[in-house]
């Protein structure tokens, strides 16, 4: 455990991670073209690794030091054009970068990380024969130094550096002088070259917990300067240096590379897995003390000047109050408004990060995947400069990587196959980001094989996610988007890369968790396009502000589909289906909830509550002015409120933890008038109201949402102009009868149809109203029903899907050409009829 | 510094207030601010003793009606009513609504006695003291939040 000032370590970690990111992208750049890469690139990589090596030595992270040292020496050979880089070298270097990143993720346990395998690979990748390897590892006898100096180290030394010094100083002393190790390192690096560093510390006195003991650091340093010059240049006192004299006799080193053989016998793949598993382990306990953010100096300057301006306004304000000058106050309010809004804007900017931070990771992922899958893949990113809130960015990485993986694995075809299809062998993935009207659109396109619709259909059937009828009703796009349902994976084989069954649904969930939306478009054999719509920031939520009983409530705008004004003159706009109030909204029925009912009933709705509410609401137009059509996950309903105040961007505050159990509110906010308002939890309200999830394809399909099986229905009206639908299969015959030939016997109506007495039933209890036209008689197919049903008018024959089993409140209601239609069977009519006869009999007995 | 420490150890400064003519006191060290603003955003489904949310300098505070918590009938707000907002160290952003705020008294910790009455339904007032012939029940601010239970009562 290191006990240095945490800030220094943190600084080192952050800086090093930045270096590593650079290194990675530059390595990939080299890999693109081994022949014509820019030699500056090698230099940049070299310097980055070198800096990491130096600083890690100061801070006592020996494993990081060792690893970066070996990487550095490989890079040094590359820099000196000793040999050309090849893909294997890049591969190994990348592995080194990965391992370093892992160690930086959990810097305190970095010294426990096993780096041996990667070290061996790094050492072996040099195109040298065994002899030179031996040479490198031979140890020189040296004077007065604790460092082991071998050829490898001497190779690092630039030729013009004639002197090697060992620097020795005390970190604790340094920090007293206000110098950080990183600073010192930078200072001495400008005059020479740090070959190696190490640190040594005296034991901590546990009794006192006092750390104010020496922390000795040794630096092996090469330079062209004489010792007195060095003293002047670095400002360090001369007793901190001692020159190391190297005897040119070679000593032998016994424990030479038996390890080389070991490494050679092990294929690369195995190790890469080890590295990745180490990666995973480290992730568990990282990020504890690294919640920092980098802000451009420009923004900071702006904030400072705005703060100054604000103070100025305050002073003027106080002056104006003193003078009781109303005029001044008015102008001041204006400038205050200006300053605060500018300030808010700038502060929000500090949270904004370029999306490049995520995009930058993609090329490496694609490269590795392409190798693993034996495909040729190119990734193009654009819109890197688009800025997005830090918290959203953090949560964007995983879903984005998942999508890219899918594209590489399932989307893009093998090169051979691609050529056969007339496509270029190299597949392309384009990732772009753009800012559009308050949202960020991220597009991921590939030119792969696209989504196989037929397979999606089959899979949906197999897994019981959709029925055939449902599928028939879905359009192309809807079917493609089925792949985001939970439990969906069309990959034929489960590969290491993707296809474990937890697929796009996870992506969808994580995207919607950050308030975004996802949509997939795909053309078979041409490619797939996935678009993400992300909010700019989480802290500020665009919301619809609705009013109920004089209080304002916020509904997140992303959950609002539309707002419908209820025409109270039109009685038919809302009705009750069972005990659920529904709104007729273009060709479909939408369950509605009066918000007031939610508020007034603390207990979750059940059958009783619903019935009570129905009797209360049936003829009440109160609290039924506007329906905010909301949709969250798969629940869609209308929320009835008094008035819409407007759209506002609200600052979300968490709800008090004591009130967490109240599920109908998701948060609170302070609005412009200084009052606090609550944010409605659309999902929680639906749960409270016992609303059920409707099947997904619901929208715009006539009646389809209630049902699975399509059946041909006769649609007709009874004598009260109510609409009914009856399965055509149950009807044997429809006969026109003459109203005046209906005869009444024992209070029952009969008709002579083809010399048979047929009892006539009506579909309502009341006496029929006067009609001008003759009625129709529906005769049932099944003989057990000894009656016919008289109806006024036949409207249509339509294909209607019915499914009684579906747990939907309005399962026996549907919409047909803007009318609410009641589904009816002879069975029900018979039951009604039997009841009637029973009643009649009882009545007679009593009489 | 040392001197102050001794004072807080031996004596407690109480912000006293009344509820239904009874005297109560809260350690003044736990109070952040006393406010006369009595506009609260009702929280439906919250227990009766919750008045609602209020905005105190841009932060949302939960305001509890101490009267209701002590078992009295709730009454309409009067202009003399006050909200005592507690410091964050006492508990997550909350305040209590009381009938009327009166003096700040300094009491010797030795004079504090345990509250013997058993009728109190909760552990809000564990100690009492006698000052100037008045009985002052000392409200333990740290216990207030714990005494709010969601599943009791309901806002009508």
pLDDT per position as a tens digit, A115-124: 888 888 877 7
Position A159 scores a pLDDT of 64
Phi, psi of A613 (to 5 degrees): -65, -35
Is pLDDT at A128 greater than 80 in this prediction? no
Q: Rounded to whole angstroms, how far apart are CA atoms A554 and A75?
A: 58
Neighbouring CB atoms inside 10 A of A457's CB total 17
Q: Which two tokens stand for residue A111?
A: 């010294």
Is pLDDT at A26 greater than 90 in this prediction? no
Q: Are A839 and A608 in contact, with CB atoms under 8 Å apart?
A: no
Cβ-defined contact of B148 to A674 (cutoff 8 Å): no
Q: Are A105 and A290 in contact, with CB atoms under 8 Å apart?
A: no
Query: Of residues B16 and A816, which shows the higher confidence score?
Result: B16
Minimum CA–CA partner of A597 in chain B? B44
Q: Are A665 and A676 in contact, with CB atoms under 8 Å apart?
A: no
Binning pLDDT at 50, 70 and 90, where does residue A272 land?
very low
Packing angle of the helix pair A6-32, A87-105 (nearest 10 deg): 160
CA distance, residue B91 to nearest chain A CA (Å): 10
pLDDT per position as a tens digit, A410-432: 888 888 888 888 888 888 999 99
Interface contact A659, partner B, CB < 8 A: yes
Q: Are A817 and A588 in contact, with CB atoms under 8 Å apart?
A: no
Interface contact B131, partner A, CB < 8 A: no
Q: What's the whole-number mean pLDDT along residues A698-709?
A: 40
Cβ-defined contact of B39 to A675 (cutoff 8 Å): yes
Q: Which two tokens stand for residue A158?
A: 């630039």
Q: How far is CA A96 from the centre of its chain?
A: 29
Length of chain A: 847
Position A490 scores a pLDDT of 53
Residue with tokens 């919750």: B50
Q: Which two tokens stand for residue A739?
A: 């109203």
Is pLDDT at A817 greater than 90 in this prediction? no
Angle at A297 between CA A294 and CA A300, to 5 degrees: 90
Q: Which of A547, A551, A603, A658 to mutate to test the interface with B (most CBs of B within 10 A)?
A: A658
- Helix or strand or coil: residue A677? strand
Interface of B with A in 98-117 (CB under 8 A): none
Which of A282-291, A310-319, A435-444, A773-782 is modeled with the greatest confidence?
A310-319
Cβ-defined contact of A675 to B156 (cutoff 8 Å): no
Is pLDDT at A578 greater than 50 in this prediction? yes
Binning pLDDT at 50, 70 and 90, where does residue A709 land?
low
Lowest mean pLDDT among A518-532, A668-682, A688-702, B61-75: A688-702
Q: Rounded to whole angstroms, how far apart are CA atoms A53 and A316?
A: 55
Cβ-defined contact of B41 to A653 (cutoff 8 Å): no
Is pLDDT at A252 greater than 50 in this prediction? no
Where would I find the H helices in A285-325? 297-323
Interface contact B6, partner A, CB < 8 A: no
The alpha-carbon radius of gyration of chain B (Å, integer) is 16
Which of A103-112, A116-125, A225-234, A554-563 is modeled with the greatest confidence?
A554-563
Binning pLDDT at 50, 70 and 90, where does residue A695 land?
very low
Rounded to the nearest 10°, the torsion over CA A396, A399, A405, A411 is -110
Half-sphere exposure of A585 (CA within 13 A, CB side): 23
Position B7 scores a pLDDT of 46
Q: Rounded to whole angstroms, how far apart are CA atoms B71 and A195?
A: 77
Is pLDDT at A436 greater than 70 in this prediction? yes
CA distance, residue B7 to nearest chain A CA (Å): 31
Minimum CA–CA partner of A595 in chain B? B44
Cβ-defined contact of A668 to B44 (cutoff 8 Å): no
Picking from A440, A271, A348, A350, the residue whose alpha carbon sits closest to that of residue A649 is A348
Position A146 scores a pLDDT of 61
Picking from B45, B58, B148, the nearest residue to A658 by CB comes out as B148
Secondary structure string (H, E, C) spanning A733-771:
EEEECCHHHCEEECCEEEEEECCEEEEEECCCCCCCCCC
Binning pLDDT at 50, 70 and 90, where does residue B63 land?
very high
Half-sphere exposure of A169 (CA within 13 A, CB side): 28
Q: What is the DSSP letter of A159?
A: T
CA distance, residue B55 to nearest chain A CA (Å): 6
Q: Are A630 and A664 in contact, with CB atoms under 8 Å apart?
A: no
Q: What is the DSSP letter of A409?
A: I
Picking from B55, B145, B154, the nearest residue to A676 by CB comes out as B55
Residues of A in contact with B155 (CB under 8 A): 602
Q: What's the whole-number mean pLDDT along residues A751-757?
A: 77
Interface contact A656, partner B, CB < 8 A: yes
Is pLDDT at B18 greater than 70 in this prediction? yes
Cβ-defined contact of A659 to B154 (cutoff 8 Å): no
Beta strands A574-577; A580-585: pairing state: antiparallel
What integer best gives the mean pLDDT of chain A? Answer: 75
Is pLDDT at A100 greater than 70 in this prediction? yes
Minimum CA–CA partner of B92 in chain A? A656
Picking from B55, B145, B154, the nearest residue to A658 by CB comes out as B145
Binning pLDDT at 50, 70 and 90, where does residue A232 land?
low
Cβ-defined contact of A678 to B43 (cutoff 8 Å): yes
Q: Which two tokens stand for residue A485?
A: 């349902």
Position A239 scores a pLDDT of 66
CA distance, residue A676 to nearest chain B CA (Å): 6
Q: What's the whole-number mean pLDDT along residues A542-565?
A: 89
Position B61 scores a pLDDT of 92
Is pLDDT at A270 greater than 50 in this prediction? no
Lowest mean pLDDT among A344-353, A375-384, A429-438, B115-124: B115-124
Minimum CA–CA partner of A596 in chain B? B44
Minimum CA–CA partner of B64 in chain A? A658
Q: Rounded to whole angstroms, how far apart are CA atoms A671 and B63?
A: 18
Interface of A with B in 582-641 (CB under 8 A): 598-600, 602
Lowest mean pLDDT among A169-178, A186-195, B3-12: B3-12
Position B83 scores a pLDDT of 93
Picking from B45, B60, B148, the nearest residue to A653 by CB comes out as B60
Binning pLDDT at 50, 70 and 90, where does residue A265 land?
very low
Cβ-defined contact of B43 to A676 (cutoff 8 Å): no
Is pLDDT at A278 greater than 70 in this prediction? no
Cβ-defined contact of B44 to A664 (cutoff 8 Å): yes
Is pLDDT at B151 greater than 50 in this prediction? yes
Q: How far is CA B141 from the centre of its chain?
A: 6
Is pLDDT at A697 greater than 50 in this prediction? no
Q: Rounded to whole angstroms, how far apart are CA atoms A581 and A760?
A: 33
Interface contact A471, partner B, CB < 8 A: no
Residues of A in contact with B46 (CB under 8 A): 659, 662
| Beta-carbon pairs below 8 A across chains A and B | 63
Interface contact B156, partner A, CB < 8 A: yes
Query: Of residues A793 and A58, which shows the higher confidence score?
Result: A793
Is pLDDT at B35 greater than 60 in this prediction? yes
Position A235 scores a pLDDT of 65
Position A286 scores a pLDDT of 40
Residues of A in contact with B55 (CB under 8 A): 670, 674-676
Residues of B in contact with A664 (CB under 8 A): 44-45
- Helix or strand or coil: residue A328? helix
Whole-model pTM: value is 0.46
Q: Which two tokens stand for residue A568?
A: 């109270």
Position A149 scores a pLDDT of 65
Binning pLDDT at 50, 70 and 90, where does residue A213 land?
low
Q: Are A247 and A149 in contact, with CB atoms under 8 Å apart?
A: no
Residues of B in contact with A551 (CB under 8 A): 41-42
Q: Rounded to whole angstroms, how far apart are CA atoms B24 and B128?
A: 9
Cβ-defined contact of A670 to B55 (cutoff 8 Å): yes
pLDDT per position as a tens digit, B78-112: 889 999 999 988 888 999 999 999 888 888 888 88
Binning pLDDT at 50, 70 and 90, where does residue A392 land?
confident
Cβ-defined contact of A662 to B62 (cutoff 8 Å): no
Binning pLDDT at 50, 70 and 90, where does residue A158 land?
low
Interface contact B7, partner A, CB < 8 A: no
Q: What's the whole-number mean pLDDT along residues A813-838?
A: 77
Q: What's the whole-number mean pLDDT along residues A327-356?
A: 84
Q: Rounded to whole angstroms, how far apart are CA atoms A341 and A349?
A: 12
Q: What's the whole-number mean pLDDT along residues A766-773?
A: 55
Lowest mean pLDDT among A239-243, A303-307, A789-793, B60-64: A239-243
Cβ-defined contact of B156 to A600 (cutoff 8 Å): yes
**A263-269 contacts at long range (C-beta below 8 A, 24 or more positions apart):** A263/A117, A263/A120, A263/A121, A263/A123, A263/A124, A264/A124, A266/A117, A268/A91, A268/A121
Interface of B with A in 53-92 (CB under 8 A): 53-55, 58-62, 92
Cβ-defined contact of B44 to A659 (cutoff 8 Å): no
Share of chain B above pLDDT 70, in %: 85
Q: Rounded to whole angstroms, how far apart are CA atoms A660 and B148?
A: 12
Cβ-defined contact of B44 to A657 (cutoff 8 Å): no
Residues of A in contact with B92 (CB under 8 A): 656-658
Minimum CA–CA partner of A661 in chain B? B150
Position A763 scores a pLDDT of 73
Query: Of residues A164 and A662, which shows the higher confidence score?
Result: A662
Residues of B in contact with A655 (CB under 8 A): 60
Interface contact A539, partner B, CB < 8 A: no
Q: Rounded to whole angstroms, how far apart are CA atoms B95 and A478?
A: 51
Cβ-defined contact of B44 to A600 (cutoff 8 Å): yes
Residues of A in contact with B50 (CB under 8 A): 659
Position A487 scores a pLDDT of 67
Lowest mean pLDDT among A40-54, A90-104, A254-268, A680-694: A254-268
Q: Rounded to whole angstroms, how far apart are CA atoms A631 and A558?
A: 9
Picking from B41, B50, B93, the nearest residue to A675 by CB comes out as B41
Residues of A in contact with B150 (CB under 8 A): 658-659, 661-662
ipTM: 0.84
Minimum CA–CA partner of B145 in chain A? A658
Is pLDDT at B154 greater than 80 in this prediction? no
Binning pLDDT at 50, 70 and 90, where does residue A236 land?
low
Position B111 scores a pLDDT of 80
Binning pLDDT at 50, 70 and 90, where does residue A783 land?
low
CA distance, residue A654 to nearest chain B CA (Å): 9
Q: Rounded to whole angstroms, how far apart are CA atoms A597 and A613?
A: 8
Is pLDDT at A132 greater than 60 in this prediction? no
Encode burial over A348-380: b for 16+ CB neighbours within 10 A, e otherwise: eebbbbbbbbbbbbbbbebbbbbeebebebebe
Strand partners, A514: none
Q: Which two tokens stand for residue A604?
A: 């979750």
């Amino acid at each position: 455990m290191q006990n240095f000032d945490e800030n220094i370590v943190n600084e080192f970690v952050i800086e090093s991670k930045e270096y590593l990111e650079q290194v990675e992208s530059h390595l990939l750049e080299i890999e693109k073209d081994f022949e014509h890469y820019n030699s500056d690139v090698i230099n940049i990589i070299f310097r980055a690794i070198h800096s990491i090596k130096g600083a890690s030595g100061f801070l006592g992270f020996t494993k990081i030091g060792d690893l970066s040292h070996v990487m550095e020496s490989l890079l040094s050979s590359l820099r000196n054009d000793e040999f050309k880089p090849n893909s294997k070298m890049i591969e190994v270097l990348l592995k080194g970068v990965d391992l370093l990143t892992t160690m930086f993720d959990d810097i305190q346990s970095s010294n426990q990380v096993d780096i041996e395998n990667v070290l061996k690979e790094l050492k072996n990748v040099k195109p040298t024969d065994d002899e030179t390897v031996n040479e490198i590892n031979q140890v020189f006898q040296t004077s007065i130094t604790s460092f082991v100096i071998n050829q490898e180290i001497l190779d690092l030394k630039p030729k013009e550096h004639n002197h090697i010094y060992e620097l020795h100083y005390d970190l604790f002393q340094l920090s007293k002088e206000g110098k950080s190790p990183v600073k010192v390192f930078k200072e001495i690096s400008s005059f020479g070259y740090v070959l190696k560093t190490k640190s040594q510390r005296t034991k901590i006195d546990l009794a006192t917990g006092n750390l104010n003991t020496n922390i000795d650091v040794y630096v092996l340093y090469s330079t062209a300067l004489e010792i007195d010059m060095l003293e002047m240049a670095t400002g360090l006192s001369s007793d901190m240096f001692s020159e190391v004299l190297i005897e040119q006799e070679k000593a032998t080193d016994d424990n030479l590379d038996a390890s080389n053989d070991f490494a050679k016998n092990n294929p690369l793949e195995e190790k890469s897995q080890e590295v990745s598993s180490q990666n995973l382990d480290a992730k568990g306990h990282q990020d504890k003390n690294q919640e920092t953010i980098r802000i451009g100096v420009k923004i900071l300057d702006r904030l400072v000047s705005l703060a100054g301006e604000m103070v100025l306004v305050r002073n003027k304000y106080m002056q104006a109050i003193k003078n009781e000058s109303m005029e001044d106050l008015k102008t001041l309010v204006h400038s205050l408004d200006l300053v605060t809004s500018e300030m808010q804007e700038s502060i929000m900017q500090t949270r904004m990060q370029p999306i490049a931070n995520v995009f930058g990771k993609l090329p490496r992922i694609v490269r590795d995947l392409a190798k693993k899958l034996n495909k040729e893949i190119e990734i193009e990113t654009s819109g890197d400069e688009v800025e997005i809130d830090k918290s959203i960015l953090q949560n964007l990485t995983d879903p984005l990587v998942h999508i890219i993986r899918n594209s590489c694995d399932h989307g893009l075809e093998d090169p051979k196959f691609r050529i056969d299809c007339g496509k270029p062998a190299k597949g392309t993935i384009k990732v772009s980001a753009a800012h559009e009207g308050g949202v960020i659109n991220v597009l991921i396109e590939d030119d792969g094989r696209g989504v196989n619709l037929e397979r999606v259909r089959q899979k949906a059937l197999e897994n019981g996610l959709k029925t055939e009828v449902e599928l028939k009703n879905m359009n192309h796009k809807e079917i493609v988007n089925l792949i985001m349902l939970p439990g969906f994976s069309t990959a034929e084989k489960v590969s290491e890369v993707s296809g474990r069954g937890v697929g796009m649904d996870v992506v969808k969930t994580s995207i919607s968790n950050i308030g975004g939306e996802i949509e997939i478009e795909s053309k078979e054999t041409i490619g797939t396009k996935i678009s993400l719509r992300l909010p700019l920031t989480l802290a500020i939520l665009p919301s619809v502000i609705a009013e109920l009983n004089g209080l304002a409530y916020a509904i997140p705008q992303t959950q609002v589909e539309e707002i419908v004004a209820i025409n109270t003159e039109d009685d038919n706009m809302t009705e009750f289906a069972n005990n659920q109030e529904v709104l007729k909204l273009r060709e479909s029925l939408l369950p509605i909830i009066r918000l007031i009912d939610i508020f007034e009933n603390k207990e979750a709705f059940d059958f009783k509550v619903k019935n009570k509410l129905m009797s209360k609401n049936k003829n009440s137009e109160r609290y039924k002015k506007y329906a905010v059509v909301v949709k969250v996950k798969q629940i869609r309903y209308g929320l009835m409120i008094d008035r819409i105040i407007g759209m506002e961007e609200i600052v979300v505050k968490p709800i008090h933890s004591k009130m967490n159990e109240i599920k109908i509110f998701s948060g609170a906010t302070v609005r412009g008038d200084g009052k606090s308002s609550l944010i409605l939890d659309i999902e929680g309200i639906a749960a409270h109201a016992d609303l059920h999830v409707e099947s997904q394809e619901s929208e715009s399909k006539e009646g389809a949402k209630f049902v699975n099986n399509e059946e041909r229905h006769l649609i007709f009206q009874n004598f009260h102009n109510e609409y009914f639908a009856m399965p055509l299969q149950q009807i044997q015959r429809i006969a026109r009868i003459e109203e005046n030939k209906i005869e009444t016997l024992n209070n029952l109506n009969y008709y002579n149809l083809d010399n048979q007495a047929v009892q006539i039933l009506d579909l309502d209890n009341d006496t029929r109203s006067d009609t001008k036209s003759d009625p129709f008689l529906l005769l049932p197919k099944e003989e057990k029903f000894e009656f016919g049903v008289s109806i006024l008018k036949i409207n249509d024959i339509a294909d209607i899907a019915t499914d009684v089993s579906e747990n939907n409140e309005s399962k026996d209601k549907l919409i047909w050409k803007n009318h609410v239609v009641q589904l009816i069977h002879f069975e029900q009519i018979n039951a009604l009829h039997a009841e009637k006869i029973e009643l009649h009999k009882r009545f007679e007995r009593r009489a | 510094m040392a001197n102050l420490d001794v004072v807080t150890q031996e004596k407690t400064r109480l912000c006293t207030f009344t509820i239904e003519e009874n005297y109560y006191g809260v350690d003044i060290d736990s109070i952040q601010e006393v406010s006369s603003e009595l506009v609260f955003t009702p929280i439906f489904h919250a227990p009766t003793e919750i008045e609602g949310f209020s905005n105190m300098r841009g932060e949302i505070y939960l305001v509890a009606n101490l009267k209701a918590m002590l078992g009295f009938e709730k009454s309409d707000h009067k202009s003399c009513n006050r909200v005592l907002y507690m410091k964050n160290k006492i508990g997550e952003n909350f305040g209590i609504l009381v009938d009327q705020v009166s003096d700040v008294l300094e009491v010797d910790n030795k004079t504090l006695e345990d509250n013997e009455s058993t009728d109190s339904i909760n552990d809000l007032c564990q100690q009492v003291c006698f000052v100037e012939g008045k009985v002052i029940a000392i409200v333990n601010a740290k216990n207030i939040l714990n005494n709010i239970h969601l599943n009791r009562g309901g806002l009508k």
